[in-house]
Chains A and B, each alone.
Chain A
Amino acid sequence: MKAVLALGLSFIRVSLRERSSLFWFWIFPLLLLGFLGAVFGRVEKGKMDLRVTVVDLDRDFLSQALGAVVREIGESGLFQVVEVPESQGDPRKWAEREVREGRIHAALVIPRGFSLDLQGFPRAKADPVRLEVLYRRGEAGSSTAASILSEAVEEFGRSFLAETGFLRRKIPVEKEFVGGEERAIAYVEFILPGIILMALFVNGIFHVPSAVVLAKETKILRRYFATPLSGSEYLAGFALALVWMSAFQIAAIWALGRFAFGARVPLLRPEALLYLLLAFGVSLGFGFLISSFSRTFAVAAALSNLLNLPLQFLGGLYFPLASLPVPLRVVMAINPLTHLAQGLRASLGLETPSFPAWANLLVPLFWIFLSAFLSGRRLRLTEE
């Protein structure tokens, strides 16, 4: 027991003193939570730095009303409305150039005769009045701005018909949210469990090969085993260190989410603790699996990196993954991180899992046992 505790303390000391370890395992998860929370917290509140313009070629009361509607939307923070400079010769050409060159995300062009054509609708004119929304296809900001402008136009048309009495009835719409517990969930609350799982996973798949493969390669292990220390004591000491480190990481991530972003994530629920324990097991299992298939540390590092990010992205740790092509859906289904993320979030009341509860428990368990079995057969801490 003495040896196990002493080894555990040594592993923690080394992890804190090695600068790259200190950054990637202790600091990076906090930075990532802070970054994603800051970025997507804004987006969630509708705050994006989008710039749009309205080119009013009609300059009549209805076109001005439409322009006012767009400016009102801008005042809510969704975008900033850039006014067309007076000195511009052809405002439409100016707007097109500004959008094309990326200084403005989208431009609404209200054509000449808009007010007149609209007033004649639907009696005199059968066709709707076409308004151009200039944008850059594919670019996320521009597409978003263009969609908002298009919707503003459609809503304006609807309001026009309602006020002129042509619309027989306005249909009310109520909104309901489902999934998870009955409360509003912020993006930070959704992502916090994902960051915790990421930290646990990275801990396992990088620290284990370091403790096993690298220590063997640099002959540190051999020095240990020239003493009465046994292999299982060594691994127990390492596992103990990993438990302490993981517990601290989880606490730090939770605290940052709670006090910096006001995230309410009740991690002490028994079911949540179960998933955290499973996650710890999966990370250890993968770490040992990688170690058992790697003759050198360079190979282990390559395998760890190869598995790390794809499994994280395809586990829905950061974004919910709804529609994916079939091959990726298969990967998602067998990826233990998918089930851990869903199970953990479900236990925290943050979502309803798309996989059944038994799958969210069994898939990680399967990987734990498979890793234990394969690495038990293949892994050798000594040369003999």
Chain B
Amino acid sequence: MRAFLAILGAQARVFLRDRADFFFTLAFPLVFIVLFGFIWGGRENPTKVGLVCPPQEELVLSALSSLPEISVELFPDWEKLSLVVAKRAVDFGLVWNGEKFVLILNRGRFQENPEFEMLSREIVRTVELWGSGLSSPVEPVKVHVGKVSAASWYHYIVPGLMAMAILQAGIFAVAGRMASMRERGILRPILATPASGWPVLLGIGLIRMGLGFCSAGLNFALARVLFGVSFLVNPALLLFYAFVCALGGMGLGALVSFGVRRPGSAAAAGMILTQIMLFLSGVYIPFEFLPPGLQAVGRVLPAYYMAQGFRAALGVVEGGAEILWASLGFGLFGVIALFLFGQLFLRPEKG
């Protein structure tokens, strides 16, 4: 017990003094929370529509003004409007000549153009209906049936980033820190003492797990403070997912270490695995947007389930049995892989 506590203290001190490790583990992940928060975390602004319309066409002007999701800016002619749309000073343009509309889109705005086209159709419908003295006979009403916390895409990103922070901390605890300790011979003097090697493993694992939790917590706090996002947190579920994520992450790190010949390559392989998981887990890019082949790969990767688990724990999605069991399995895998890694890690070197 004494040895274990001493190792815990030593590992904590080592971490705090290694500025590069401190930066990459705690500070660097916050960059993404801030960046994505600014891009997706704010309130949605009205779409800016440029309009060329004869002044006597009050109907068109009134119809457009009645739509709360757009803000209208008038332009004198088509050329000026085209230039402004091309330079993205407005989102799209409409030219009304009394007979027809001409919708002007910027060909470079790929993701947004379908939405702009939809809005333009809504505008045209409104003008048609007002022109006929009618209102729409149907009114589709969007009803949110998901969890209360899910307000924007940023609400989905934050739990995903929290999960990745813990997963990464786990992977690098083993593939990075432990593998490098063995390679640099730091472990040997300890193994030459009566102290068992298991306190070393556990000590490193606990510190790294704690760091992962700190990183996730910092992400959460920053998102809350800077962007005002709120979640309905289920503390027990959050703790559960945090633990299995950390354990599973360390198991993944062990798997990586088994798979590479040189310990020095384990950290690099861990980094590549993390990047692949980030792209294929639905954290950065919505899962549905991935081609079926990549979705199939994503469903095999634990990051997908961890991200969903954290979303469930923060009240963003329902969760469900599939996520729970998959996460439990991941945690169990982590325990087994760590045990096997420990056996290899602590045995005397051959040759």
Contact = CB atoms under 8 A, between A and B. Distances in A.
- Touching chains A and B, CB distance < 8 Å: yes
B34 to A, nearest CB: 9
Given A38-B294, A345-B108, A133 B140 contact: yes
Nearest to A66: B138
Contact of A302 (B23, B99, B137, B287): B23
A226 interface: no
Contacts of A173: 100-103, 120-121, 124
B131 A169 contact: yes
Nearest to A118: B137
A129 B140 CA distance: 8
A178 B85 contact: yes
Interface string A116-145: 001001100000111111111111111000
Interface string A284-328: 000000000000001101100110011001100001111111011
A298 B31 CA distance: 18
A320 B108 contact: yes
Contacts of B7: none
Contacts of A321: 39
A302 B23 CA distance: 7
A312 to B, nearest CB: 10
B279 A147 contact: no
A160 B31 contact: no
A112 B145 CA distance: 20
A130 B38 contact: no
Contact of A101 (B32, B118, B291, B320): B320
Contact of A129 (B20, B121, B137, B271): B137
A95 to B, nearest CB: 9
A300 to B, nearest CB: 10
With a 10 A CB-CB cut-off, give which of A176, A313, A321 has the most chain B CB atoms.
A176
A39 B137 contact: no
A158 B316 CA distance: 36
Contact of B107 (A96, A138, A140, A180): A180
Contacts of B279: 35
A305 to B, nearest CB: 6
A75 interface: no
B73 to A, nearest CB: 14
Contacts of A155: 121, 125
A325 B290 CA distance: 29
B177 to A, nearest CB: 15
Contacts of B236: none
Contacts of A129: 137-139
Q: Which 9 A-B pairs have the closest CB atoms?
A: A136-B146, A352-B86, A141-B288, A298-B20, A157-B138, A140-B286, A150-B140, A177-B107, A351-B108
23 contacts: A23-B268, A39-B285, A43-B289, A100-B146, A128-B137, A137-B144, A140-B153, A140-B156, A156-B138, A169-B128, A171-B101, A171-B128, A172-B101, A173-B101, A173-B102, A174-B101, A184-B107, A302-B28, A305-B28, A319-B111, A324-B39, A352-B83, A353-B87
Interface of A: 19-20, 23, 35, 38-40, 42-44, 46, 48-50, 96, 99-102, 105, 108, 118, 121-122, 128-142, 146-147, 149-151, 153-158, 160-161, 166-180, 184-185, 187, 190, 298-299, 301-302, 305-306, 309-310, 313-314, 319-325, 327-328, 345, 350-354
